[in-house]
């Protein structure tokens, strides 16, 4: 079952690691960060 997950700080560290794993598990991640380049890569 796919879930929608909200994470702040998705551009580095723990936030990035969690985001990558949730995406691999087919979940939808809504995130924010100060680095627009990283957010673009995650899309």
Rounded to two decimals, what is the model's pTM? 0.81
pLDDT tens-digit map of 1-12: 899 999 999 989
pLDDT tens-digit map of 16-37: 999 999 999 999 999 999 888 8
| Residue 1 in tokens | 């079952």
Where exactly are the structural domains of the chain? 4-42
SS3 content of the chain, % helix, strand, coil (to 5): 45, 25, 35
């Amino acid at each position: 079952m796919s879930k929608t997950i909200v994470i702040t700080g998705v551009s580095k560290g723990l936030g990035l690691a969690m985001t990558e794993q949730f995406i691999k598990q087919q979940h939808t991640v809504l995130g924010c960060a100060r680095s627009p380049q990283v957010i673009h890569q995650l899309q």
